[in-house]
Amino acid sequence: MDTADSRLTYRDATDADVDALVALIESAYRGDASRAGWTTEADILQGQRTDPQGVLEVVKAPDSRLLTVERDGRIVACCQLEHRGTHAYFGMFAVSPALQGEGLGKTIIAEAERRARETWGVTEMHMTVISVREDLIAWYERRGYRRTGETTPFPYGDERFGIPQRADLRFELLVKPLA
C-alpha cells in the first residue's frame, strides 16, 4: 500500500527554493490560509512569520540546513536544523495547512531527529515554542519533548517576527534526548 510517507523526499533547500519556502511558512502560520490547518498563529500574531532574507540566512548558514520535504515534486513541508555543539536546534517547521492532520508532521520530525543525530552526533534536540501555544506544545510532548520552564522574551517591536495581538508572549525551550 502506498502511504503518504513513502512519497516524501527530503533535501536541503537551495537559494531557488526561498520564495516557495517563505510562502509555505507564511501559509502555515499567518493569515486566513493558515486557518485551514491547526498550527495557525493568526489569533496571536499578525504580519509576517518570516521573509526571504530570514529563510536565505538559514539556507546559507554553515552549521544550519533547511530540510525541504517534497511530495510528488511539490514542496509540502520544511524545517530548520542547526548544529549547536551537543544539541541541534529545530525550528522554522511548517507543513502545508491542506496536509496537516495526515501524520506528516510526526514523520518529518522523526526524520529531522534522525538526520541531526547521524550527521552531527548530537544527543539532544532543542526548540522554542510560543508558550501560549498549548496545543502545539502538547503535540511536541507526545513526540517526546519536555518543557523546561526556560523562557526567553518575544521580540516585541520587531515586525520581522510578527505583530503580537497580546502582551504575554514568550518562547519556551522544549528539549528531547536523542538516544
Task: Using pLDDT thresholds of 50, 70 and 90, give the confidence band for residue 40.
Answer: low
Read off the pLDDT of residues 118-127 as tens digits, 9 standing for 90 and up.
999 999 999 9
Q: What is the mean pLDDT of residues 138-147?
A: 96
pLDDT of residue 41: 67
Residue whose C-alpha is closest to residue 175's, from 101, 113, 104: 113
Least confidently predicted of 16-30, 41-55, 86-100: 41-55
Is the pLDDT assigned to residue 91 strictly greater than 60?
A: yes
92 pLDDT higher than 90:
yes
pLDDT exceeds cutoff 80 at 36: no
Strand, coil or helix: 162: coil
- Residue 161 pLDDT more than 90? no
Render 115-132 in DSSP notation, one character per residue.
HHHHHH--SEEEEEEETT
Strands (E), the chain: 8-12, 45-46, 64-71, 74-84, 87-95, 124-130, 146-153, 163-164, 170-177
Q: What is the mean pLDDT of the chain?
A: 89
Whole-number pLDDT of residue 60: 95
In this prediction the pTM is: 0.89
Classify residue 118 by burial, with Cβ atoms within 10 Å: 0-12, 13-18, 19+. Answer: exposed
